[in-house]
Every structure is written in C-alpha cells, then in structure tokens.
Amino acid sequence: MAEEGGAVTKEYEEEQKQKIEAEKSMAPWEQHSAVISLPRFDYTAPSLILQHSHCGFLITCTIKREKSATKEVLSILEKYVDPFRNGDCDGLDSHEKNSTKRRRTCTEEIGRECLDLEETNSAIVNSGEVMTGKLSEGTHISPTKAETSSSGAFDLSLVKLTRSGLLLFTFPRNELVDTVDIVSNIIESFEAGKSSPIWCHRIFPIQATCRLNEKELQEVVSTLVKKFVANKQNHLGHPLKFAVGYNRRGIEETKLPKENADSSSDYSLLDRNTCFGVVASAVRHVVEDSIVDLKCPELSILVEWLPLSGLPTGSIIVAVSVLPINVVSTKPRLCIKALTSNTKQRPGPQ
C-alpha cells in the first residue's frame, strides 16, 4: 500500500512538473487566456457599423489594462442588460424593426423550454447577417448557440479600435436595447454605494452610429431628440435647455486623405464649432423653443468619434446619444458620469 501511495505521489508530481514546463513555454497571451476568459474581436463589426446604425457601449478604461477592463465591464453588463432587451433603441431604420430576429420558444409538456432551431437558422440565412456571440479564447460559439444564451451580454461584439484606453461593444443591428436606461441604472447603483470598478472609468451608451457628415448626423440627432421629447414631454421646460458635447479621441491615429481633408465637406465636421452648429440646428428643427444651456441642460447630445480598426481610409464613424441630466456631468466639461469617484487620479482617457 505504501509503495502504491508513493507511486501515485510521484506520478502526480511528474504531472505537475510537466504542467509547469508547458506553461513556461506558452506565449504571454496564452498564459493570460488560461486564467481569464476573454471575448475575441469581431472583425466583421466595423464593416457592418459602416453600413448600418448600431447601438452598444463605449467604455473608457486605464491604458494597458484593456483586458482586465473587458472582463470587468462584461461582468457589470451581464447584470443589467437583460431587463432592457427588445426596447426601441434608435428607431432609425423601419426595415430593421420589421426584420427583428425570429426567435420562437415553446414549452413542452414536461415544462422545458426549447428553441425552434430550424426557424432561427432560416432567419439567419434569409437575412444574410452575421450573428456573433461572446467568444472565449480558443472557443467558438455558433450563431445558434449564441441565440440560446440566457445572458444579454453574450450578444455583444467586441470591436477592435485603433486607440488604447477604449473598449467598444455593439449589439447586432437588429437587437433593440435601451442602452441609456442600462447605463443610468449602472451609475445609480454605484452612486448608491456599490463597490466601484477598478479599471473601467465611464460607460457611454450608444443609441445610434452614423457617418460623420451633415445629412446623416442631422437625421440621427433629429430622430433621437424626437424620441426623447415624446417620452418626457410633460417634464420638459420652456424653452427647452440643451447642450452638445463632441469627443474626438482617436483622431490622431486615424488616417485621413491629406488632399481632401481641407476641401471636402465630408471632413468639415471635424471642426468642433461646425459640428456643434449642425447638432444645434437639428435640435431646433425638432424643438423650436430651445436654447443652449451648458450648466444645467435638460437633454445633452453627445457625439463620440469611433476610432474603428479596419475601416476604409477616410471613413469616419461617430456614435450619438441624447441623454438626460442624471447620467451626465457638466463640470469641468460635458461628459458621461464616472463610475468611480477617483477617475481623475487614474491614467487613461476621461
């Protein structure tokens, strides 16, 4: 018996030794993925965002801590996304509304819920869209498996950016989610005393995306302002007070054609004042009785440059949201409220 016990111990020690040697031979990212499950980048997302409006979340985080921030923000979003699924995200495309995912669940006699896989697969093939799920290192989740996931955050795609200190997650374009209410609840929970995140600084709720040109930006802003006013028409003052914010993080890393940057109207909105003028014009077109108030706006329109990796040279995509006062701060500038009180003391974009 003693000999058998000694043999087992020796065999176990040998296995552990081999495991340690294998870990030493692993690349750093392989060692990291063995401990932390992280989603892969969805490399189809930039082209889809270029073609259609999407909603999602843009997160600012500590530079060189993007992997830790990714894991942290996913754990946060998984707790808040589900209750707000299938809301009217942006209302920008009637075709998108009519082609929402054809999920059908049925309850068998024994009480178990099942997914009609044949109908789901047919919907995917007919729409021609790429359905993505949350992918861990070394693991692929098929569209069907992603559909059956019970977690709303599993439908989020991680999009590769050209700037450090930023994370971008988007929903499939047919997924209608009230991102503003999600972020509002997250901020409220942290303000109520919930333990603050370590790596994530701010979560910007993206209601819509568009190309940075006057026509598309005005259309998006007008649609979102109409929705905001319709939802809060009995609680707005006269005149309506609004403010506009414009963040261009990542513009330095974005390649723009030098010969067209100065002359083309497509690049005129790179100027802050020009962009502010276009947004303000769209607001006044919807609400004639409105004025700019940077101290206490009833609604804030935030435009965020998205430094997407893999876009054609010269293509510029921005995220747009119309936000209530409870999720923004106006000092020292207009921005989303921080998730933690000591964000300013941490490195990385604010």
Amino acid at 208: A
Which DSSP symbol is given to 280?
H
pLDDT digits (tens, 9 = 90+) for 106-149: 333 323 333 333 343 333 334 333 333 333 333 333 333 333 33
Total structural domains within the chain: 1
Give pLDDT, residue 13: 72
Nearest to 45 by CA among 311, 269, 265: 311
Q: Whole-structure pTM over 0.75, yes or no?
A: no
Q: How far apart are CA 188 and CA 205, in angstroms?
A: 14
Query: Is the separation of the CB atoms in 210 and 317 below 8 Å?
Result: yes
pLDDT tens per residue, the chain (350 residues)? 555 555 656 666 776 666 666 555 545 444 444 445 678 999 999 999 999 999 999 999 999 999 999 999 999 999 998 766 655 444 454 434 443 333 333 333 323 333 333 343 333 334 333 333 333 333 333 333 333 334 445 689 999 999 999 999 999 988 889 999 999 999 999 999 888 899 999 999 999 999 999 999 999 999 999 999 999 877 888 999 999 999 998 888 777 766 555 555 668 899 999 999 999 999 999 999 999 999 999 999 999 999 999 999 889 999 999 999 999 999 899 999 999 765 444 444 44
Q: How far apart are CA 210 and CA 212, in angstroms?
A: 6
Retrieve residue 219's tokens.
């259309």
Give the phi and the psi of residue 112 in degrees, each rounded to 5: -90, 140
Buried b (16+ CB within 10 A) or exposed e, 197-223: bebbbbbbbbbbbbbbbbebbbebbbb
Give the helix/strand (H/E) hosting 304. Answer: strand 299-305
Domain extent, residue 299, equals 33-98+132-345
Distance CA 55, CA 138 (A): 27
> In degrees to the nearest 10, what's the CA dihedral of 336, 338, 344, 346?
-120
Candidates 72, 37, 19; CA nearest to 186 is 72
pLDDT per position as a tens digit, 21-37: 655 554 544 444 444 56
Residue 199 backbone dihedrals phi, psi, to 5 degrees: -105, -30
Q: Please tell me what DSSP assigns to residue 311.
A: P
pLDDT of residue 241: 96
Asked if the structure places residue 10 within a domain, the reply is no
Domain for residue 166, yes or no? Answer: yes
In a domain, 236, yes or no: yes
Distance, CA of 32 to CA of 35 (rounded, Å):
5
Residue type, 54: H
Tokens coding 294: 């940077």
Which residue is associated with the tokens 């209410």? 181
Angle between helices 214-231 and 272-286 in degrees, nearest 10: 40
The dihedral through the CA atoms of 142, 143, 147, 149 has a sign that is positive
